[in-house]
Amino acid sequence: MTLIIPAQPHTEKHFTDSESVRDIVIGMSDGLTVPFALAAGLSGAVDSSGIILTAGLAEVAAGAIAMGLGGYMAGRTDIEHFASERAREERETSEVPLKETAEVHDILRSYGLSEDDAARVASSIKADTKRWVDFMMRFELGLEEPDPKRAGRSAITISLAYIAGGLIPLAPYFFFGEVKTALTASVAVTLLALLVFGAIKGLFTTGKPVRSAIQTVVVGGLAASAAFVIAKALG
């Protein structure tokens, strides 16, 4: 009697929301470092936590708007670029079909298909104009159709991430009136936030959280140190 063991279903786990992670990384990294550097720089020049807090909050508001608009424009550019390239491919399949067929054939050959197999597949692909254009967009140009809602979603995600990051280094100035105390607390909480953020970022992007955490802390620390030293020297 043969024992038949049912095969375990194969489930592939891939992270598919990379665009949202990218937006969070962009917003949070700038949100943590820029207001941190500003607060540290002002701490070397003024003796009022209120002034530093006001300037910091103004910077967070302006930065969130600017970063959000940048994300929106980048998203719109991707959509417009894709539409432009697709229109060009549609014209070419209509005006120079032999050239476009040869390009399909060459792409298929680059994946190891024989001459005969590549010719048959190319013939099948070009039988449907939409499928033909889709193939050229993906395999010739390497372009995927952007989500039409991507631009707005990107703007909101980047802005909120920037605000969330920016409030962390400014938080101590809410609670401490003495600038040196507030600066010390700001350095401690921001470096910790950078460490945690860098580790999470590395976990989702490179798979090397420790290295990413160290790099993020070093960059943020250098930015704040430079701002503090310059402000102290000029003040």
22-34: average pLDDT: 84
Rounded to a whole number, what is the distance in angstroms from the first to the last CA of the chain? 89
Query: With bands split at pLDDT 50, 70 and 90, how would you rate the model's confidence at 29?
Result: confident
- Per the model's pLDDT, the better-predicted residue between 26 and 162 turns out to be 162
38-60: average pLDDT: 86
Domains of the chain by residue range? 19-85+152-234
What pLDDT does 59 receive?
Answer: 92
What pLDDT does 2 receive?
Answer: 47
Query: With bands split at pLDDT 50, 70 and 90, how would you rate the model's confidence at 105?
Result: confident
Say yes or no to pLDDT of 60 above 90.
Answer: yes
What pLDDT does 227 receive?
Answer: 67
pTM of the model as a whole? 0.75
Closest CA to 157 of 232, 36, 74, 50: 74
- Per the model's pLDDT, the better-predicted residue between 197 and 85 turns out to be 85
What pLDDT does 67 receive?
Answer: 92
Say yes or no to pLDDT of 218 above 90.
Answer: no
Name the average pLDDT for the chain: 82
86-99: average pLDDT: 88
Say yes or no to pLDDT of 52 above 80.
Answer: yes
171-175: average pLDDT: 90
Q: Given phi > 0 = left and psi -120 to 50 = alpha, else beta, which region is 4?
A: beta
172-178: average pLDDT: 88
57-66, 100-109, 201-210, range with the lowest pLDDT: 201-210
Task: Please report the sign of the dihedral spanned by the C-alpha atoms of residue 167, residue 169, residue 172, residue 174.
Answer: negative
Query: With bands split at pLDDT 50, 70 and 90, how would you rate the model's confidence at 234?
Result: low
Alpha helices in 96-178 (DSSP H): 97-110, 115-126, 129-135, 150-175
221-226: average pLDDT: 74
